[in-house]
Structure 1
């Protein structure tokens, strides 16, 4: 079922009068609830509870627990594996009442209360089937959405984790250059945390994306968009928590085939350059359409009945497509893609008090591309260019892949004390190989030479990945739950270490870029650099090397209390303490944040005392660790060299310039001369963690037996960020004021808290002695970091009954400030926490405005209709307003050459153009439809399904080129050129067969 701060819906009315009297009070009362990232809870009230026992059993696995009822009539069973349970009230060894089909969802509590039992005692072993439970979970203070395997199958959403995440209110697609990443609650796409069976699987290098699993192995997917408890951290966006399927006492198996035919895919839009109307894509757009096939199969059952269970799932996806870039001198790609995923899970019920879970999964994605020179306008294919092979890379590195192993142990030590322990590890290898990677890289950009006669290199990429690139994560957590009267206490500690070897080097070791002699005699972008006359042309030498090993050690401790203050009032009190340490390749700590305290507070009011009307509020602080990408870029010995010179004669066929004559000394961008920085000088000494505060106020109201309505207000404010800063002018000024020689200092980059005072240890004069330098926020010259998100969420939901389910969400929101957070989606920059935004003060002039992930209006409606046992129909509608547009250009003032970022400033035509002031992209609309047929002659075990995505083939622009000027200040003819559109309409057909052995 899909839930949002509530439990499952109600069953139909009961006809027996005595039975109605016995159960009429079941909606009254609640109790405290502690959450877990891989389990749920059952709780409730019992009339005259003293001496009674509540028996909880999962019929599918034989797992059971007996929980005593306290003198005040309350009981609670926590840390229950998700699933469907039978709950019985027992007195003196006899069953008084039984509730069947009690659904336990991850991280939620299900209220099963037994009241007015005096009437029920005359009805021995009364059994109520269905989900006759309150529609609203009055025990939670967070904002969550839970989807079950059943809904993921019935709704027409793509078979991916993030496609389901987008059903949560306030979730939007991030910039297309980040793959299928998602922004939650106005945060950047790199600020979310992903878990599988309690183990974190988020991409440790960038925070974008996560290791995934076979889609049909998902039992429940939980999405927190705010207000989550102290157990969760390392996230200022949202939390995605996945629980996998497990075996039961019945051997079951099945298989599925999904096919997306190329012939039924709509043709992509033609792109034109706005400046001159030139067509940038040619006649063969239909060849870019993709076909895709997915095969999957599963098996699960008991190795030992009621004790030991196995579940396995395998999925393989293959696709092919052709694509090419813009202009008449580009590349055509013939792409073959493959993803292999498997999951194997063992569950061992040692006894009713001890459970062991073992999970292994693999996520491997690979691609192979043959590339040809291509004229995209005339649709003329040229000579073979080369090949590229990638593994666990994905779009912009957002498909990290890898192999994961998790062991989890749960012990119900007493009725009131539960232990939960977990250990897991993950390893991901990243491969990016190209043909010609040992060739010198060069690009012939001479306008005097026709494009067809320009020299072509033997390599196909300017850089190649670091050999042996990988990510590793390993760690553990230990949690204790204890019930003490009206308090449900939960405490825990964890430790996770992540390591990445990553980076890239120039293909062939060096790059050469050829140009004609400039008409004005000056090198473009180097106004101080004249070109000597009498030479054939000019050439730029380029070397880039950024390879390093980075490590992050993450520790936390938390304590939380769900306190039943009064009959209708529940208070949540939580405190989380986090420690982050970032290390370089030599295991030297270059930055750390200790004792990052994050209080979490919440309150719920069961207004009517019957779980039909809930008012809730919460406030909390949330911290985020610096991703490994920072150390790879900032703590390693990066080399970024450029040097202009002249050449005479025709360029050599291997790309090297004849008679190369440098006309300037090597220029090292931001001081990156290959020397590893002193770890003490990489970041500010007093660096504070990245964190934000959040406040939520909302209500949920039952309108009728199957209808629920709700609203909530959310406000998030970013309080501190971490990014790099590359301005040496404040240090030079400090040195002048303190009589220190600063002649040797370059524009190095340092990790700081932008907008605040920072303390540094830096060798200014090259004597090996580190100067203790304190710079105020005014000295540094950067504005205060700002990002505020506020939203109003409204929803109306009809629980599944009368053959149909439906939900309607509307969100009004604004994400406003001068920093998106870890990312910079305006230009698709993939450098979390080292964006160009804060590199020097001029880049931040005009930066305040609506952020890239701001979507003012969002409407989401989805549901399904079970017309007959054989026929099911589903729909999913998404409507949202467009993102803001910018105009980036050159800065009209003076900036030192080694700090000039060309066309990266909020200026166009010499005028300030503040963030988001150019307008917005168009609204987007997308409707998906599905139908499923389960023929009766196959016992409803065979299912044929057809889905159509983007029914009306809306191909609205999703992102654009936002540089209004070139790096030399000229008008950019490609300004506002579309970079991506909505995916054209496509169909997906599937056949699925499930059976019992």
Structure 2
């Protein structure tokens, strides 16, 4: 059958789009900012010429004696691949899309893919789309790649996390950590985020990342496991974004996106379990207007290219807080993101790329008191103005990022990649009301009182102190050399993270009114007879400039064992060094060896059926935030007073101090000796992972596959805050510790024996205490359990490649994440202290903690795609269904030997094992979009009108709840009192809202 010219062009376009689609099981075949083209030909000694269609960049690669060729470290983009002999073109392929980190098999007659009946050997004639495979047989890892075309055509919120949630096994993290995701059961702080090869992860906590203009994204990788030795510092997932570049044609575009609050459904109000309204949210709505633009083109044709893009988002949010801290606020939010990128093809053998990114957000909050009885805002409290401020857990850190990257093709077989980057974020805050000394933070906790907060502390509780900033700088050098059937890669990867951070109580200090009576652990607090109430004054203040130095070296061999078998054998060696506010090293970890092994089998030799497997170890450094409080100077003390009268601002009057000041956790404003912060020789946080899967083509457009994954956390780092093990060891070894300086908390490897240095006489005489698991056992016989976090999953997928009409993908994931530790975070209570959570503080608190973990979603179903109904109309959809999160009841222990209150997996003084209280409801959400490109706007249809509706059916199931089930111990029954806040929702699914947009793209 004869193929018409138009049909032929359409097939080539389909090919370019199809190769850009993410395939489950495709892998990192190249560095984290480029891709590879490889293949075979029946004519050894010929030359393969690769030409970037948009920039004119050309590279020639020789075919070896076995008929193989490989061109690595190629900038992503569209290529023409030509087979040449004696300088003449024999056969060529056009519109070959190089995807980020993956390999494209472009074989010619006699090679694996070109054996297709559609292959043509006529000089200068391009092969039809069906001649190229959709499966990357050179890869062994698990990832999804989304191109800019897909990001535009799918109904997605305009942010990186929304795209990441399309990948199998990726779920939204706890809402209290912000807009972050959990990968493969790991906590949400265990991911790494890259832009153009440079890590832009939050330098302080690992939660969040610097973002960029959404339309500047060229391709986004979402790695869910199995990544090669060049990647590290992640036990969750990796998100890698490559930005667009300029080409030989000047182009520009403008856009506007509107989210009107009038088309947004009201979020559900929150009620306590007794039916009492806890937070009215009917008017908690946000509207936004986003203006976008870009311009790109050649500064010097074929040599120097420019790309610039910007997003300006103006939002207005209204919030009514809870009855505990009643206020009404209006937030005016201005977010500005821009990106500038210059690409210089110095020669066809030497490429230079420079990128500048800025991500800054200003929030101007006006705050009023709120009268719940009347349902109206009343007196004006003041303002809260922030710039790039982490106003809540998981907030985007923002800031400025600068990246330089060099690629050198020294010979056909030798390639060098070098990168340097730096970033800085200044967090600025002007608390127009909380800085007022007449606005203290006061909590009324007297028996029968409503636990109402008075004065300040109405918004954040604790806030970052002045001068807060984060900085990073890093570099990497990769060398690749091809030696016969081996492609060898080696590299250095260094990054330093610095943060000036710390927290203070909003309002400066905190008052708590309490009933008079015995204070646990404080026999010196004795109120005079007849005293009914006392006031506790607390001060909390931390602040330090801390640093984490991360270094790594890696080596990897891509070994083409036979025509059908390929092995990736790699080893990564990492070193981590954590420094406190005084510049002293308190944790140093070296020789963290991470082997990686992957194998792929091209079953039929034509790239239509691949079986693959891999095994690897992945390490994670201790985050910077640990040093702010645990390794640097901090103040945290409590004072008790009797009082007579209350001032108009709520403060107690006529104070008489009871007893002495009590420093909590030993935080008395002095810098801990770095030798007393962590266990000696502490092992790094690391995880082992195993994956086995396959990908199979069905005809020319369909692909299906399956993948099994097992992950096991082998070593964790957290803190414990218990002096009893030291006392037991000292007694057994006749060591006098009556004058010892024992730190409040120590970093250690949970569930193992650990060695600590203890200043036994308070004069700097440090003695090693080799604490065994028996030493950690309490007098009541309670021991720390072995560390346990296991994840296993089975992913099934079916994908239809774009055929000029439609694209679609369906994923089903069955998974279990279970154990006694979530990892770096504790989502059970929304605790934002990576690596220093409440877990492991003492053996008692780890009883009954084994079970399904917070990020466990047993069943996940994801389906997304788009349909080009006519050249003018396109429709897209995205359906996500998941089973609910496990529920717990956390309460009091009958003994409470460590005085932690309602913090145990026990309720009514009975064991309440993790996950034993059932599950939250299933969640499901359907998003739809439509795009109209009128022909009357021009032949290229440069004008596009879009409409997207998120959560069409406005499902609002709870996604997080209060899991602390008990509030106090009854003085009458001596039994725990069930909390009225138990099971109270913390967050729901976002209700239905609409986004309308218009874009105009044009050539200049």
Scaled by the length of structure 1, the TM-score of the pair is 0.93
Q: Compute the displacement of 1:92 (Å).
A: 1.2
Paired position in structure 2 for 1:85: 79
Distance 2:980 2:789 in 1: 32
Paired position in structure 2 for 1:849: 851
Q: Compute the displacement of 1:121 (Å).
A: 8.8
1:815 equivalent in alignment to 2:811: no
How do residues 723-742 of structure 1 correspond to structure 2 at under 5 angstroms?
723-742=718-737
Specify which of 379, 392, 397 is matched with residue 395 of structure 1: 392
Q: Compute the displacement of 1:432 (Å).
A: 3.3
Deviations 1:743-789 (A, max 9, x none): 34556111111111111111133132111111112322422111000
The answer as to whether partners of 1:102 and 1:131 remain within 8 angstroms in 2 is: no
Paired position in structure 1 for 2:410: 413
SS of corresponding position for 2:252: strand
Paired position in structure 2 for 1:23: none
1:995 equivalent in alignment to 2:990: no
Specify which of 606, 618, 622 is matched with residue 618 of structure 2: 622
Deviates more, 1:901-910 or 1:652-661: 652-661
1:714 equivalent in alignment to 2:709: yes
CA shift in 2, pair 1:450/1:229, >3 Å:
closer
Q: Compute the displacement of 1:373 (Å).
A: 1.4
Listed as ranges, the gaps of 5+ residues in structure 1 are 1-10, 17-30
Deviations 1:580-611 (A, max 9, x none): 00011222111011000000001111111111
Specify which of 687, 691, 696 is matched with residue 692 of structure 1: 687
Distance 2:960 2:599 in 1: 41
Q: Compute the displacement of 1:337 (Å).
A: 1.5
Q: Compute the displacement of 1:122 (Å).
A: 6.6
The answer as to whether partners of 1:432 and 1:464 remain within 8 angstroms in 2 is: no
Paired position in structure 2 for 1:244: 243
The answer as to whether partners of 1:287 and 1:321 remain within 8 angstroms in 2 is: no
Distance 1:174 1:509 in 2: 31
Paired position in structure 2 for 1:834: 836
How do residues 596-635 of structure 1 correspond to structure 2 at under 5 angstroms?
596-635=592-631
How many residue pairs end up in the alignment? 962
Paired position in structure 2 for 1:75: 69
Deviates more, 1:542-551 or 1:349-358: 542-551
CA shift in 2, pair 1:450/1:510, >3 Å:
closer
Distance 1:273 1:559 in 2: 56
1:986 equivalent in alignment to 2:993: yes
Paired position in structure 2 for 1:28: none
1:948 equivalent in alignment to 2:942: no
The answer as to whether partners of 1:100 and 1:130 remain within 8 angstroms in 2 is: no
Deviations 1:145-180 (A, max 9, x none): 000000000000100000000010000000000111
The answer as to whether partners of 2:361 and 2:398 remain within 8 angstroms in 1 is: yes
Scaled by the length of structure 2, the TM-score of the pair is 0.93
Paired position in structure 1 for 2:788: 786
How do residues 537-686 of structure 1 correspond to structure 2 at under 5 angstroms?
537-648=533-644, 650-653=645-648, 656-686=651-681
Paired position in structure 2 for 1:863: 865
Deviations 1:498-534 (A, max 9, x none): 101101123454322224x45xx44589799554323
SS of corresponding position for 1:966: strand
Paired position in structure 2 for 1:59: 53
Distance 1:804 1:168 in 2: 20
Deviates more, 1:341-350 or 1:312-321: 312-321
SS of corresponding position for 1:735: helix
Q: Compute the displacement of 1:540 (Å).
A: 0.4
Q: Compute the displacement of 1:124 (Å).
A: 2.1
How do residues 202-601 of structure 1 correspond to structure 2 at under 5 angstroms?
202-274=201-273, 276-282=274-280, 285-327=281-323, 330-376=326-372, 378-392=374-388, 393-434=390-431, 435-439=433-437, 441-443=440-442, 445=444, 456=455, 462-515=461-514, 517-518=515-516, 521-523=517-519, 531-535=527-531, 537-601=533-597
The answer as to whether partners of 2:130 and 2:700 remain within 8 angstroms in 1 is: no
Distance 1:369 1:604 in 2: 55
CA shift in 2, pair 1:456/1:196, >3 Å:
closer
Distance 1:243 1:457 in 2: 44
CA shift in 2, pair 1:457/1:269, >3 Å:
closer
The answer as to whether partners of 2:456 and 2:506 remain within 8 angstroms in 1 is: no
SS of corresponding position for 1:777: coil
Q: Compute the displacement of 1:395 (Å).
A: 3.3
CA shift in 2, pair 1:444/1:187, >3 Å:
closer
Paired position in structure 2 for 1:4: none
Q: Compute the displacement of 1:123 (Å).
A: 2.3
SS of corresponding position for 1:482: strand
Distance 2:394 2:9 in 1: 55
Distance 1:687 1:821 in 2: 16
Listed as ranges, the gaps of 5+ residues in structure 2 are 1-5, 12-25, 778-783, 970-975
Distance 1:453 1:669 in 2: 24
Distance 1:594 1:847 in 2: 32
Deviations 1:534-556 (A, max 9, x none): 34631001010111111011000
The answer as to whether partners of 2:527 and 2:658 remain within 8 angstroms in 1 is: yes
Paired position in structure 1 for 2:879: 877
The answer as to whether partners of 1:179 and 1:394 remain within 8 angstroms in 2 is: no
SS of corresponding position for 1:779: coil
SS of corresponding position for 2:289: strand
Distance 1:474 1:632 in 2: 20
Distance 1:190 1:575 in 2: 24
Q: Compute the displacement of 1:459 (Å).
A: 8.3
Deviates more, 1:970-979 or 1:304-313: 970-979
CA shift in 2, pair 1:494/1:323, >3 Å:
same
Distance 1:140 1:190 in 2: 27
Paired position in structure 1 for 2:926: 927
The answer as to whether partners of 2:137 and 2:601 remain within 8 angstroms in 1 is: yes
